[in-house]
């Protein structure tokens, strides 16, 4: 039997996650079934259950996938010579990524996931770990920008990082309620706020 490559396994897992997102967006997290998911993915039940044993496992994996995908981006940003520009490029990547994710109904699913996490400790742990990782990386970039004179050093790096995360999650919530929202003006406004923070008063 040919050996399944890591790339093939990753692609199959993503295929299942994408199918689940479409199901959750249409029917809600609780109403969609595993049968719906393997039908949407055009896979056998065994193929889906080989990777995920439940809907909870799929939704946790989706948050973990976002975390794993972002690690390299933050690592590359942290070694750049221009930390403020690195922050701007991260904003472009993550905010414009929402446009593609919206096609899968990801904002609707993620909002459902946040609500589910309040009564689902394993999911809450996954989301908190992802958020903490994002915040820690943002704080490092903000401190570098402060050290290089690009951001007002009197600002609390944690507060600035939390503001940026709030703006990201806030847009995701708005897109869950109204998919017609425009990402580009929103991202441009956030970068303008960052530039204003670069000017100490």
Alpha helices in 33-156 (DSSP H): 34-40, 45-51, 55-78, 83-102, 106-117, 121-147
Instruction: Tell me the two tokens of residue 67.
Output: 């975390």
Mean pLDDT by 10 residues, the chain (201 residues): 72 91 89 94 93 89 80 88 91 83 82 91 90 92 93 94 93 85 83 72 49
Q: Angle, nearest 10°, between helix axes 55-78 and 106-117? A: 110
Residue with the two structure tokens 């079934």: 33
What pLDDT was estimated at residue 4? 64
What pLDDT was estimated at residue 107? 87
Instruction: Tell me the two tokens of residue 48.
Output: 């889906």
What pLDDT was estimated at residue 1? 44
């Amino acid at each position: 039997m040919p050996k399944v490559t890591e790339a093939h396994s990753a692609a199959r897992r993503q295929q299942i996650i994408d199918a689940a997102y479409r199901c959750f967006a249409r029917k809600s997290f609780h109403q969609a079934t595993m049968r719906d998911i393997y039908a949407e993915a055009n896979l056998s039940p065994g193929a889906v259950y080989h990777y995920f044993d439940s809907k909870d496992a799929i939704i946790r994996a989706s948050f973990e996938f976002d975390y794993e995908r972002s690690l390299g981006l933050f690592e590359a940003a942290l070694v750049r010579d221009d930390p403020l520009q690195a922050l701007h490029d991260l904003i472009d990547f993550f905010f414009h990524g929402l446009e593609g994710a919206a096609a899968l109904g990801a904002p609707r699913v993620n909002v459902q996931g946040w609500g589910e996490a309040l009564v689902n400790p394993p999911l809450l742990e996954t989301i908190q770990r992802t958020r903490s990782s994002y915040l820690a990386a943002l704080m490092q970039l903000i401190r570098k920008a402060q050290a290089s004179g690009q951001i007002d050093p009197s600002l609390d790096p944690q507060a600035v990082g939390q503001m940026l995360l709030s703006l990201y999650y806030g847009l995701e919530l708005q897109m869950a309620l109204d998919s017609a929202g425009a990402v580009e003006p929103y991202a441009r406004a956030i970068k303008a706020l960052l530039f204003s923070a670069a000017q100490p008063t």
